[in-house]
Structure 1
Amino acid sequence: MKQNNVLLASLMLIMSMSAFAKVDDLKQEVKIKAVSQTADIKNNQIIFFGPVEVTQGSIKIHADQLRAFSAEGENSKILVATGNPATYSQVLDDGRPASASAKEIRYDMASRTLTLKGKASLDQAGSQVTGNLIRYNIIQQKLIAESTGSGDDRVITIIQPESYQDDAKPDAPADKPVKKQDSK
């Protein structure tokens, strides 16, 4: 039973990536660098052609193309980064890196859902989930990973042991012996 609890805790750690995102990142300006861009004001859409680099605090997105638009008749904003692969990275509040990559990274701001399509990978503190499709609801902290179901294509989850995660913390002393205090 204890082993199941450790496995469940490790899976929850992977899935809670955005719950630990640096709060200050979302307060920073968004800067988009691209080779060119087009804006379709009537249809409320901007397309950036790349390479494209988006930064907001420690958040970084690299893509071949980035499309920002509102769904028809809705107030929802959607960002779609495409590439071979498109990548996302961020430093979490605890200082550890988190990253994602896929041929398409789609973020729906209204539903707070991140969808990774095509050779999708989500990595936090060395633990990783890969599949053809990964959907992550940030608010509900629910993750769904799927494969194509053909051939050897499968969803793969790699969970690092707790000692790896403790060693990955940036404030952990590297190769320093712990001194025992004299008890006088």
Structure 2
Amino acid sequence: MAYRLLAIVAAVALIIGVMVISAPRREGGGQSTASGVPHDPGYAARNARLTQTGADGEALYTLDAAQVEQQPDGSKVSLDQVRLGFRDSTGNQWNARADRGELAQASGVVELEGGVHVAGVLPDSGQPAEIATEHLDFDTRAQIIATEDPVTLLVSGRELHALGLIASLKERRVQLESSVHGSFLLDAASTEVDYRTNTLVFRDVVISQGSTRVQAEHARATGLNFANSRWTFEGKVRIDGEQHGALRSDQATVEFRDNRIARATITGKPAEFEQKRNDSDQLARGHADEIVYDVSEGTVRLSEEAWLTDGQNEISGSLLVYNVRAQRWQASAAPGTDERVHITIAPRSAPGAGKSEAAQPPDRKPGKDESASPKPTAQP
């Protein structure tokens, strides 16, 4: 009987010993940390799924991985052969895969690394889209996808190549960056493919390079190629250039040459130009049926019903050229015509008389404080 009791005690001791030896080791021999809270050794699992739910109990995203391991401090979870599934604000399903991944539990940001591929359906248009890159961050709470690595965006079979990407699934905006002779930045609310014309269509688009910025309600292009291409913009077109110059119109055609914004041709009823002068608080302004902005030369060419003022004097004719760098103008008659150039010279104010009122376009009626007498006109 004594031998049997001794054998039972030995067996229990052996089991307890195995449990203690097999238990996860804690730093400092299992002692508490300085805060008095035992250190969490984390967890590990194979072929596991992590599901994050929102306040309504619905799944915000799911993470499947061949290997899941929580860091000892519990702040991050490492993932191998990871698969990420999530839905955008419209309910469309998106799926991503990568060789490796890491989940920051506090921020909800999932970092994907190696052979990253994301596929889903674009909101509104319903067109399939894919993203391919080597590194990508996905903020699961803000629903923002971002990468600073070279990226390929495939929209309905058409490829867009860029240096970086930021896509907001909530706001339905995609921003692409192209690094060519000073970064181009393309920001658009949506991107679609027009199969009838084989062009890309952008809505609420902004393209910028250096001090030059083009924005419009709509834009069309044959591809995201800034080497040598021509883009068409329509609806509330605004072009900001060097030396605080700006152009506004209904339509514009922008030419890209050698990866630079080379020329912009704007048309409208009318097309408008303005620039704040460096030597005064006045604005140089003008309008015409067509205005051509040559970025390399720094000139604005106004033609057809052209009118221009330097803030004091006025000039009108069929062809006017304004240099935005030197802030001076030149005029000439249209080739093959005897049309004259008209210059209106405003008298300078006497000392202490105060500032003169800025010149107004010819179709503007004089205000109550403006003189009704005609100004002298010179015809060279």
Measured in 1, the distance between the counterparts of 2:261 and 2:213 equals 20
Unpaired segments ≥5 residues, structure 2: 1-209, 359-380
Structure possessing the higher radius of gyration over alpha carbons: 2
Shift of 1:45: 1.7
Structure 1 residues 139 and 33: alpha-carbon distance in aligned structure 2, compared to 1, 3 A threshold: closer
The corresponding residue for 2:277 is 92
The corresponding residue for 1:114 is 300
Structure 2 length normalisation: TM-score? 0.32
Specify the SS of the correspondent of 2:349: helix
Q: How many matched pairs? A: 142
Q: Which amino acid aligns with 1:35?
A: E
Structure 1 residues 137 and 29: alpha-carbon distance in aligned structure 2, compared to 1, 3 A threshold: closer
Structure 1 residues 31 and 122: alpha-carbon distance in aligned structure 2, compared to 1, 3 A threshold: same
Are 1:51 and 2:236 an aligned pair?
yes
Are 1:33 and 2:215 an aligned pair?
yes
Specify the SS of the correspondent of 1:167: coil
Q: Which amino acid aligns with 1:87?
A: E
Measured in 2, the distance between the counterparts of 1:29 and 1:70 equals 15
Measured in 1, the distance between the counterparts of 2:230 and 2:212 equals 17
1:167 to 346, 350, 355: 355
Is the contact between residue 292 and residue 302 of structure 2 (CA under 8 Å) also seen in structure 1?
A: yes
User: Which segment drifts farther, 38-47 or 105-114?
Assistant: 38-47
The corresponding residue for 2:309 is 123
Q: Which amino acid aligns with 2:356?
A: A
Structure 1 residues 65 and 119: alpha-carbon distance in aligned structure 2, compared to 1, 3 A threshold: same
Measured in 1, the distance between the counterparts of 2:349 and 2:262 equals 40
Measured in 2, the distance between the counterparts of 1:132 and 1:159 equals 18
Measured in 1, the distance between the counterparts of 2:349 and 2:305 equals 29
Shift of 1:60: 3.1
- Identical aligned pairs, as a percentage? 23
2:344 to 142, 158, 172: 158
User: Which segment drifts farther, 133-142 or 32-41?
Assistant: 133-142
Unpaired segments ≥5 residues, structure 1: 1-27, 171-184
Structure 1 residues 135 and 30: alpha-carbon distance in aligned structure 2, compared to 1, 3 A threshold: closer
Are 1:69 and 2:229 an aligned pair?
no
Measured in 2, the distance between the counterparts of 1:60 and 1:75 equals 18
2:287 to 101, 105, 114: 101
Q: Counting strand residues as a fraction of each chain, which structure ranks higher?
A: 2
The corresponding residue for 2:370 is none
Q: Counting helix residues as a fraction of each chain, which structure ranks higher?
A: 1
Relative contact order (C-alpha < 8 Å, sep 6+): which is higher?
A: 1
Kindly provide the CA deviation profile for residues 119-162 of structure 1, in whole angstroms up to 9, marking residues without a partner as x: 011111221110011134556756132157768x4310011111
User: Which segment drifts farther, 161-170 or 121-130?
Assistant: 161-170
Measured in 2, the distance between the counterparts of 1:166 and 1:149 equals 44
Shift of 1:35: 2.0
Specify the SS of the correspondent of 1:163: coil
Q: Which amino acid aligns with 1:46?
A: W
Is the contact between residue 285 and residue 311 of structure 2 (CA under 8 Å) also seen in structure 1?
A: no
Shift of 1:48: 0.8
